[in-house]
Copies of this chain bind each other. A is one copy, B any other.
């Protein structure tokens, strides 16, 4: 039976939603969920749940400490070696569990991913990835939505490879179209970061080297939805603001609509008739259905839930983690990064490479080493 390690003490209301979500998961599927946290608390909490007669099972692994929202990520990692988060990550890193799920302090989750699971070779920084719906019924993968606020262009190029691989493995997107989030498509638009990342990806696409994805240029804030892009890469500051603006707008529109509906009986009747359509719409918009966010770029599967995740969100995250582990996401990522690192490293993979006839790749190299952006044809 496959095993998922769940940090049962991470969320704002832990361990209630964690235990509920885990119980719901094992009632539905033949999984073992390892609840990691204070044994006594978890036993008590479990005793309050209806008996579990599902195909799966729940077990408990004791951990004496808890990472709080106020803990600095590195302090949490160094100072709380027996935290529920640390023990859960240890289980996943050692292979005792297929994946780990946490609704805890997301900076600390990031630190545990980095230091316990380790980065994939060739990846400078893992990113947090999320998935949104698109109009034709597809999906748009977006990263980074919060892990790294200040990036270099080569990291955005790495996100392109990671995101495209994620879309292939999770969603079956044959040849993902990848965009770089910017404020416009014209020459002068964007920041140094986005312009350099665009140049790296465009020159790799033009170089004739085989890529697993199509580089589709700049994406704007409205381009998450119409299905023109399967993957959009950005820094964690911008991505976080875009994600929260999306969530905030959706909630705002439903709230306003409710306000309008209250104005007359006619509207209330209309809303009653439309209720199933509204529910379907909300389901299509909700991130919960996709099981939360994933820390992408580490050697393993680490799902990050919102601190206020409900039992349902936790259950979905457990299922998503399991699906990704079964689908072989970690080896697929390692393989894809190895095959694409020429994008940010140049064709020979080493700074020491001598003069080359491939002007584009040389130009590329210059700024992948942190250059000033003046890089051109050698």
Residues of A within 8 A of B (CB): 69, 72-73, 107, 135, 146, 149-150, 181-184, 186, 188-192, 220-226, 236-238, 240-253, 255-257, 260-261, 263, 266-267, 269-274, 276-278, 280-281, 284-285
Contact = CB atoms under 8 A, between A and B. Distances in A.
A68 to B, nearest CB: 12
9 contacts: A183-B237, A183-B241, A221-B243, A221-B245, A221-B248, A222-B244, A237-B238, A270-B270, A274-B274
A252 B281 CA distance: 11
Given A272-B270, A273-B266, A277-B270, A253 B107 contact: no
Given A191-B237, A244-B222, A246-B245, A284 B256 contact: yes
Contacts of A225: 248-249, 251-252
A280 B260 contact: yes
Given A241-B221, A280-B260, A150 B267 contact: no
Contact of A274 (B223, B238, B241, B271): B271
B271 A256 contact: no
Number of copies: 2
Contacts of A247: 221-222
Given A241-B241, A247-B222, A255-B135, A273 B277 contact: no
A181 B238 CA distance: 10
B269 A184 contact: no
Contacts of A260: 277-278, 280-281
A292 to B, nearest CB: 17
A133 to B, nearest CB: 8
A226 B256 CA distance: 11
A370 B54 CA distance: 62
A180 to B, nearest CB: 12
Given A242-B221, A245-B245, A191 B149 contact: yes
A146 B273 contact: no
Given A253-B253, A271-B274, A107 B188 contact: yes
Given A183-B149, A225-B252, A253-B250, A237 B190 contact: yes
A284 B281 CA distance: 20
Which of A224, A252, A253 has the most chain B CB atoms inside 10 A of its CB? A252
A15 B208 CA distance: 45
Contacts of A277: 257, 260-261, 263, 267, 270
A274 B261 contact: yes
A222 to B, nearest CB: 3
Contacts of A236: 183
Contact of A149 (B69, B107, B190): B190
